[in-house]
Amino acid sequence: MKRYDEETIRLNYRNLTKKLIEKNLTITTMESATSGQIASMITDTEGASNILKGAFITYSNEAKIMQGVPKEIIETYSVYSKETVEAMAKACRKAYNADIGIGVSGTMGNVDPLNADASIPGQVYFAISMQDQTDSYFIELEPQPSRLAYKLAVAQEIYETLETLQKYKKILEL
């Protein structure tokens, strides 16, 4: 079982924020399953207001639609789909004119009663939008001891994905 250490995850997000500040690159999120945890960790670093102008917590389907996710996408593919998180990442990136947009939706430790047919505990989708390209990812988490542990695990998976993306390295000029 993969272990997720909160202190390490928070350190990773401090480092990410510092890199973005140094390169003057902006980031935003539209978070459902993580309820703003990623944006929160970005803002734990002094100077984050230079790179995070805002973020959306869109816990309900209605909130996602209000922030630019087409209703048809959710109805056709479900709220838990690559299509939905791609729309989320694009919508938040556009709303804040950011260099990087992250969308995340999934089911943590229990079935979502409002989306029961598509809700499978531990299954999470996320997307990263950069430079006119949006890529989506799927992860399946083993049971975690708490909702915070699920949120931190998802945040770490997103961080690790960012670190491996060549286009991310290119815009950071690493």
Q: Domains of the chain: which residue ranges? A: 6-169
- Secondary structure (3-state) at 105: strand
The lowest-confidence range among 1-5, 20-24, 69-73 is 1-5
Half-sphere exposure of 15 (CA within 13 A, CB side): 11
Indicate if the pLDDT at residue 167 is higher than 80. no
Q: Starting at the edge strand that comes first in sequence, how are the strands of the sheet with 56-57 ordered?
A: 56-57, 27-31, 100-106, 123-130, 133-140
Is residue 34 within 8 Å of 4, Cβ to Cβ?
Answer: no
Residue 123, pLDDT score: 94
Please tell me the CATH code under which domain 6-169 is placed.
3.90.950.20
For 29-73, what is each residue's pLDDT tens digit?
999 999 999 999 999 999 999 999 999 999 999 999 999 999 999
Residue 148, pLDDT score: 95
Indicate if the pLDDT at residue 174 is higher than 70. no
Position with higher pLDDT, 166 vs 108: 108
Structure tokens at 170: 């290119």
Indicate if the pLDDT at residue 8 is higher than 70. yes
Residue 117, pLDDT score: 76
Is residue 124 within 8 Å of 138, Cβ to Cβ?
Answer: yes
Structure tokens at 140: 């399946």
Q: Classify the phi-psi angles of 149: left when phi > 0, otherwise alpha if psi is within -120 to 50, otherwise beta.
A: alpha
Give the residue-averaged pLDDT of 11-31.
Answer: 96
For 107-159, what is each residue's pLDDT tens digit?
987 777 777 777 778 899 999 999 889 999 999 999 999 999 999 999 999 99
Angle at 16 (CA atoms; ends 10, 17), nearest 5 degrees: 90
Please tell me the distance from the alpha carbon of residue 70 to that of residue 42, in angstroms, as a whole number: 27
Find all residues with CB under 8 Å of 156, minimum gap 6, and list them: 4, 8, 9, 12
